[in-house]
Each structure stands twice: as structure tokens, then as C-alpha cells.
Amino acid sequence: MRTTIRTPQAVLAARRRFFEQGQGAASGVPPAILASWRRCLAHGLAAGRSFAAEPLSGAALREARERQRQFLLLVRPELEALHEQAHSTGSIVMLTDAGGLILDAIGHPDFLSKAARVALAPGVSWSEASAGTNAIGTALVERQAVEVRGGEHYFDGHRILSCSAMPIRDPWGHVAGVLDLSGEASQHHLHALGMVRLAVEQIEHRWFASGFDGCDVLRLHPEPGLLGTPREGILVFAQGRLHAANRHALAMLGLDWNDLGRRRYGELFEMPWSRLREDGQVRDRHGAWFGVRLDTPPRTVARPAAWYDGRSGERRPSCEAMLPAAPAPVFGITVGRELERATRVLDAGIAVLVQGETGTGKEVFARELHRRSRRAGGPFVAVNCAALPEGLIEAELFGYIDGAFTGARRHGSPGRLREADGGVLFLDEIGDMPLVLQARLLRVLQEREITPLGGGKPVAVDFAVLAATHRDLREASAAGRFREDLYYRIAQHVVHLPAVREMAAREALIERLWQDLRPVPALCLDPAARSALAAADWPGNLRQLVATLRSAIALREHADRVVLDDLPADLCRPSVTSALPADGAAKDGVARPLAEITVDLMRAELARSGGNVALAARRLGVSRSTLYRRLVVRA
């Protein structure tokens, strides 16, 4: 977005003109920065005050990370690789969710502490509406890569920062989060934005690695030698209709994300599908030639054509969809009976609320409920109410017309609620929906029509309503955090999913999951490992249990079995105090700092592992770089 390098003096001069002479006098800054400054003024933000950050508590941050566990696993390699590339400049690398909440940050220790002084740290939301102009929040609003240097930040206190960020899109075009590289504004970070772009390309490319069940994946590029690289275009077709894509493919063909679910193969290419594999090339409708590679996996699941209709194209916002799929929770007899009852209730037009702790399988239950219902041929539209970007939440849900706001798509957007027409609307984590949105949602559920932002005629909609939450909505209603009238509208039938620790036959549950997950029938689970798994508390429930089994399979030391040592160390090692030397827990009756205890544990584990850093890191559940860094710093 930059064509020239501006000096800090020029940027400060532009700020003075903007704040002293009016919004139209700030020439000399990029259009995206100027548009952001104007939005900040409209939000009533005062540039001279401090950023009023409200970080999440430790428990709330852990919960947020647990909800994004699969996304964090997907992005982690690029986080560490980008940090290695940027270490010489003393930078930090951060990952946020779709709302701008910082989930993870790694980097130079000196700058990490400086960044924390301006609340650039995990657990803080850097949405533009609260943190002013900044690379993370502005990239979310602009839906593109953004660089914000020094005085281009809206708040005066953020002038110490130079930040580059880019949104990460899933295969359906939804923003899953933002990757950001930040450093000191006093240093020139010439290639920062380019490095972030490359990392995001790698992440988005990996999202397609697992394939799509029952779909055809077409990889293309004008230069056949670039097939298989992150620069290739990827198109996914379901029954001949465009189902998913990456940004490179859309740019090559002159399409945008709105074309997903609407365009068919024959509308895009001249050559018949049957010749693609044989010819290794294809010509589009504009006469351009591409080298191609076609991946056609076995069609193990037959889906009705309406599943891929133009209204939704099954464009799910969940970033877990493209990672190796977790097996469905092993519903016991009680939950199986609840599933049957909920299906009859949903078919009768009655709203269903699914309650349960994080990781108990609420979305899987909802999808199975949709599959069994009379609306199985219609779309299943999942909306994570906790991850909708602040400032754009109404536009995402209710849609908007052309020109409704700065940065709006040229032809507007139907919104997530209209995409659910004819099918099921799944409102995940509805307990986290802002109160102002609750009132408007209630009106839609009562009147069954939607008015898009910017005006226009109301549009009638017909969908069944499913909602899910890990919160106690009755308690939230009593405390005024959730509308009581909306609660009774969505909780006409309530299903409670049990936590893993509440299940009586946990070893049977583990065995069922093991049968689904093991790559070959000959792979066995050692009895001691099975007992340790059954005895664990599993605060992350089924999601955590499945992830642990997968990790153990991938990291096992033996080809034919998974043993106790293959499991995460915190499942089978003694407690912190018993793992320390006799005089390690406390000295002179005074509790020792947690950092000191952590380093002692790391040293003890490294000794137990015979100096094998990789083994010690695996047993501790941390990366090798973390182990090196903590031990070197304390040495």
C-alpha cells in the first residue's frame, strides 16, 4: 500500500493538519490511515488520552485460546518462523482472533516488556473501535494488509510502535484472525509487511492440505512450475459448484468471495472437466491458460444439492473445518435420546438451546441435529457470536446494501442470517453476544424478516433456530447481561451435554475414540496410557481429549503402540511440589516465584531426559525454543 517512505516529521505534520484544520487537511498519509482516523473520530476517541485496555483474566484468556485451539495449531509454525526472521530487529509476532483479541505473542524479551506497557499483549482486544488506528484493528476493518508506523497510530501513546498486519482468511473467505509483526518505530522495518504476507499465504495454503470430503480440488497457476507452492490458486468444487477457494485463485479468475456457492465450473472454464487430468492445463472463459492439477478424493458422503445452494454455499466460519476432522463425540444413551427428542422439537419449529462446557461437542451435536432434521437439505449456517469483529458485527449478521459504510463490498452483502434461509441458523456462544445486538436479533426472530444496514426493503427469512453456550444464561439474565425475553425465545427446549469428567464409562469412551483415530488397526493403546487418560480431569473435554490422542499418535516413539511416555507430561507426572527438590518449593517459609519454580522443573525434566531437549520439551508440553529461551535466560 506504500509507494514512498515518509519521515516521522511528515506524518506528525499530517496529524497536526488533521486535528487542527479538519479531516480533509491530512494529505500525506495513506488513504486507509486517513479513513481510520476519521472512523476513530466518529467513535468519539480522543487521541491524547491513554488506551483504556481491559485485558481478559487468565481463566478467560485460557478459555478463548481453547476455543481457538485448532487455529492456533494451524498458525503456530508461521508464528515461530516469522519470529526467527524478525529477531534481529527486536520485534514481536502476534496472532489475534477475528475480533482483534490477541491470543498469542512471541518475540524479543526487551520489546515484549515495552509492548506490554501499551497493552500490546495477550488478552487485550486491539479492535479499531477501542484501540484506535492500529495495524490489527485497521486490517480487520479494511479486510486487507495494513502497515501503521509511529505517528500514524491514532493514540499518542502508540507512537512507539511500527506494526504490519494481515487478515487470515479461511477457505470460505471469512476472516479467522490477524497475523501481526510489531517493533519499535525508531527502527526501519522495510520488509515487515512482505514477511507477514508470505506467512499468511503459507497459513492459508496449509488450510487446504487435508482435502474436502466428497469434493474436487483444482489447483492452477499460469506458471505450471508454481503448482504445489503457496502461490498456486486453489478452487474446490462440490457437485460442479464452486464451494471454497483461496485468494490467489479468485484474483486469477477475476472473482470475489461472493461467487462461492454461486458459480459453476462451466461458467469459469471452457474445457470439459473430463480432460483436466489428461491435459494438465485449462483455459478460462477469458482465454487465459493455466497449468492445473486435479485432486479427486473418494466421495464417502453424499450430500444433497441444496447443501451447496447460492445462498450459503456451506460457507462456514469455523476454522476447524479444514484441519483433520475430530470424530463425533461418542453420544451415550442419554444424549442419544436427547438428540432424538431435539430433532422432533426442531422439526416442530421450536428453538433449541444446547448447553455444555467448552469442548463438549455442542457444534457437533448441532450439526448432527441438522442432518437428522427435515431441513437437512438446506444450509447449516454457524455464527460464532464471540468471534464476530467489533464494529462490523451488525453488517456480518444482517447484511448491508452497496455504500452502507466505508469499505463495504461493491454489491453489498446478504449477511449470515439471510444465508440461513431455508435451513438452520446455529448461534454458537450466544451468551457472548452484545446486548445491543440481542435486541435486534430478538426482533428478527419474532418478525422473521431482516432489514440490511443502509436501508432497503425488509427481506423475509425462514430458518430453524439452534443456539449454544457454555454460560449460565439464567444467571446472566438475572444479572442484566442477557435479555430475558431473548432467553425464553431461544431456550424453548434445552439440551445439556455432559463434561467428560461426569461420564461414568470414560475408558469405554477413550476406546471408541481410539478406534476412530488410530491410522492403522494394528496400532494399540497401552493399558497404562489408557488408565492415565481415563483418570485425567479434561477441562477442555472431548476437544482436548481428541487433540491429546492425535498428538500421542503423531509423537509416539514406538511404531506399534502408544505408551505412557507418549502422553503430555502433565497427565502423568507428579505435582509441582513433589517434582521439586526437597528444598525447592519454599525457602525460609517464603513461597518462591512461579518463574523460578518453572525453570527448576525444566532443568529437572531435562536431566530426567538425559539431556535430550526434544524429549524434555515434549514431556513438558512446550516448544524447544521455549525451553532453550527460559534456561538460557536463567543461566
User: What is the amino acid identity at position 386?
Assistant: A
How many Å apart are CA 43 and CA 632, to the nearest integer? 46
Region of 589 please: left (phi>0), alpha (psi -120 to 50) or beta: left
Beta bridge partners of 281: 291
Tell me, what's the pLDDT at 211? 63
How many Å apart are CA 557 and CA 349, to the nearest integer? 52
How many Å apart are CA 377 and CA 306, to the nearest integer? 5
Cα–Cα distances (Å) from 135 to 104, 113, 131, 152, 254, in that order, read 16, 19, 10, 10, 27
How many Å apart are CA 499 and CA 571, to the nearest integer? 18
Tell me, what's the pLDDT at 324? 33
Helix, coil or strand: residue 525:
strand
Question: Which among 629, 592, 598 has a CA at the least distance from the CA of 613?
Answer: 629
Element spanning 604, H or E: helix 594-608
Q: pLDDT tens for residues 318-376?
A: 333 333 333 344 555 456 678 888 999 998 999 999 999 988 889 888 988 888 888 87
Query: Where do the H-state alpha helices sit in 124-237?
Result: 128-131, 135-142, 192-206
How many Å apart are CA 35 and CA 119, to the nearest integer? 24
Which regions in the chain score pLDDT beneath 70?
1-6, 23-27, 86-88, 109, 188-189, 210-211, 296-336, 387-394, 400-412, 453-456, 570-598, 618-619, 621-635
Tell me, what's the pLDDT at 595? 60
Tell me what the pLDDT averaged over the chain comes to: 79
Region of 243 please: left (phi>0), alpha (psi -120 to 50) or beta: alpha
How many Å apart are CA 396 and CA 464, to the nearest integer? 19
Cα 76–96–144 angle (5° rounding)?
105
Helix, coil or strand: residue 149:
strand
**Total Cβ atoms within 10 A of residue 605:** 20
Q: Given the DSSP bridges, would you call strands 352-355 and 464-469 parallel, antiparallel or unpaired?
A: parallel
Write down all domains in the chain, each with its CATH number in brackets.
8-199 (3.30.450.40), 216-311 (no CATH), 333-496 (3.40.50.300), 573-635 (1.10.10.60)
User: What are the two backbone dihedrals, phi and then psi, of residue 194, each rounded to the nearest 5 degrees?
Assistant: -65, -40
Contact predicate 156/16, CB 8 Å: no
**What letters, b where the CB count within 10 A reaches 16 and e where it falls short, cover 45-76?**
bebeeebeeebbeeeebebbbbbbbbbbebbe
Residue with cell 473467505: 173
Residue with cell 446486548: 435
Cα 589–592–597 angle (5° rounding)?
135
Helix, coil or strand: residue 245:
strand
**What letters, b where the CB count within 10 A reaches 16 and e where it falls short, cover 539-551?**
ebbbbbbbbbbbb
Count of all residues that appear for the chain in the document: 635
Tell me, what's the pLDDT at 447? 85
Q: pLDDT tens for residues 612-634?
A: 777 777 667 666 666 666 665 44
Tell me, what's the pLDDT at 240? 82
How many Å apart are CA 508 and CA 497, to the nearest integer? 18
User: What is the amino acid identity at position 331?
Assistant: F
Tell me, what's the pLDDT at 305? 31
User: What is the amino acid identity at position 528?
Assistant: A
Burial (Cβ within 10 Å: 0-12, 13-18, ≥19) of residue 387: buried
Lookup: cell for 511 = 476406546
Tell me, what's the pLDDT at 261? 84
Tell me, what's the pLDDT at 216? 86
Helix, coil or strand: residue 438:
helix
Lookup: cell for 535 = 483418570
Question: Which among 248, 323, 318 has a CA at the least distance from the CA of 76?
Answer: 323
